Amino acid sequence: MADLLKVTDITAGYGDGPAILQDTHLNVEPGKVHCIIGPNGAGKSTLLKAICGMLTIRKGDVVFKGERLNGLRPDQILRKGICFVPQERALFPKMTVRENLRMGGYIMEDKAKLERRIESVMERFPILKERAEQHAGTMSGGQQQTLAMARTMILKPDIVMLDEPSLGLAPKIVKEMFEIMKMMAADGITILLVEQNALMGLKHADWGVVLDLGRTFIEGPAKEVLGDPRIQELYLGGKRAA
Ligand SMILES: Nc1ncnc2c1ncn2[C@@H]1O[C@H](COP(=O)(O)OP(=O)(O)OP(=O)(O)O)[C@@H](O)[C@H]1O
Ligand SMILES: [Mg+2]
């Protein structure tokens, strides 16, 4: 299948600092769940930031639907259909759930359409409808993560990139997050997920990518990555057991 997003041998870092990503590559196929794993500091978050235009790409290409994204601003990349939920979720804690959903569609010019989208997202996530007027910052961690994920659906993006959505959540809630991801994928949204829990992430993904020291170390069908002896040793059997 043709790649929806193709990252070819990119080098990127923060400001004038050292290169964090070095010849990193990634192929993203439409409609699939892709899971990026790797040790702390491997460059997982940096890769997502480079794709969404938050970092300057020094070398290599990011190509989305055949178009080069290098040099575009984050808002331009968002308009093209790539939505990013950072590790810290980036909700507006003092705004209500409804207002947060509205912010998710700030680039939409048709405000009536935006309100219809908000209503339809609330239909999909009853907890958000129930809590529509509650300040986001007063909700539980799981509810906030649900809001952060649901908010991306306002724009009906092609790709949603999620940086460690399970961080700090109880196992039961983490399961719910994976259910939401599956629902998004069934809706035709391609998922690019960074997950600390390698076993959990790969089990729910179609495609697995292992980053180490800013390089793509292993890439393949999630089941194969899960069965790779190097992964078993690094994450699943050893000290970093998931
Ligand atoms: N804003 C920044 N300025 C300078 N260096 C940074 C910045 N953010 C991250 N780095 C560096 O980039 C490298 C990769 O960090 P990154 O956050 O991408 O790792 P990660 O794989 O997401 O790790 P984790 O699993 O801990 O989230 C690290 O050496 C980190 O110190
Ligand atoms: Mg990170």
In three-state secondary structure terms, 176 is: helix
* Interval between CA 2 and ligand 2 midpoint (Å): 28
Domain co-membership, 67 together with 103 = no
Residue whose pair of structure tokens reads 């980053």 in the numeric block: 211
Strands 190-194 and 207-212: unpaired
Considering 111, 130, 156, which residue would you say is the last residue of a domain? 156
Percent of the chain exceeding pLDDT 90 equals 87
Domain co-membership, 219 together with 109 = no
Contact 37, 202 (CB under 8 A): yes
* Interval between CA 4 and ligand 2 midpoint (Å): 23
Number of domains in the chain: 2
Q: Counting Cβ atoms within 10 Å, is residue 112 exposed (0-12), middle (13-18) or buried (19+)?
A: exposed
Please list the residues that pair with 210 across neighbouring strands. 37, 218
Number of Cα atoms under 13 Å in the Cβ half of residue 86: 9
Strands 57-64 and 67-68: antiparallel
Model confidence at 234: pLDDT above 90: no
Evaluate: CB of 106 within 6 angstroms of ligand 1.
no
Evaluate: CB of 17 within 6 angstroms of ligand 1.
yes
Min mean pLDDT across 37-46, 61-70, 121-130, 228-237 is at 228-237
The Cα–Cα gap between 127 and 8 comes to: 40
Q: Give the pLDDT of residue 233.
A: 77
CA 169, distance to chain mean position in Å, is 17
At 239, the pLDDT band (50, 70, 90 cuts) reads: very low
Domain co-membership, 99 together with 124 = yes
* Interval between CA 9 and ligand 1 midpoint (Å): 19
Tens-place pLDDT, residues 193-219? 999 889 899 999 999 999 999 999 999
Considering 117, 132, 156, which residue would you say is the last residue of a domain? 156
Q: Give the pLDDT of residue 241.
A: 40
The Cα–Cα gap between 187 and 158 comes to: 10
Tens-place pLDDT, residues 72-82? 999 999 999 99
Domain co-membership, 151 together with 202 = no
Tokens standing for residue 133: 């007027």
User: Which residue segment(s) compose the domain that 179 sits in?
Assistant: 1-81+157-242
Domain co-membership, 113 together with 194 = no
Q: Give the pLDDT of residue 95.
A: 97
At 237, the pLDDT band (50, 70, 90 cuts) reads: low
* Interval between CA 195 and ligand 2 midpoint (Å): 9
Evaluate: CB of 15 within 6 angstroms of ligand 1.
no
Number of Cα atoms under 13 Å in the Cβ half of residue 187: 20
Considering 110, 136, 156, which residue would you say is the last residue of a domain? 156
Tens-place pLDDT, residues 149-200? 999 999 999 999 999 999 989 999 999 999 999 999 999 999 999 998 898 9
Task: Give the predicted TM-score (pTM) of the model.
Answer: 0.94
Q: Give the pLDDT of residue 231.
A: 84
Evaluate: CB of 45 within 6 angstroms of ligand 1.
yes
